[in-house]
Amino acid sequence: MLKIERTHSDSKNVFTLTGRIGSDDVQTLKASMEQAELPCALDLSQVDLINLDAVRFLATLEMRGIELRNGRPHVRAWIDVERRRISDLE
């Protein structure tokens, strides 16, 4: 289960994500971000588990300029791998 908490910092909406990010959560997160009027950043410090669809979504967001903060090392490494794969496809 994913909990999304929105705060404001540095003229950005910061979405703190807590728990697990699965395929179903990607659409919920996308909808939350679309409602935000300011630029966004995602705080991943409380993410425990993540699946491939979510990693690809986060990699795509980062490629579009969304800041990903405080990701655990294994999550950060996986996002970096998927970013390279996505870039190779373009």
Kindly state the average pLDDT of the residues 23-42: 89
Class of domain 2-89: alpha beta
pTM recorded for the entire structure: 0.88
Kindly state the average pLDDT of the residues 41-45: 95
Q: For the beta carbon of residue 49, count every other beta carbon within 10 angstroms.
A: 11
Give the highest mean pLDDT range of 5-9, 32-36, 78-82: 78-82
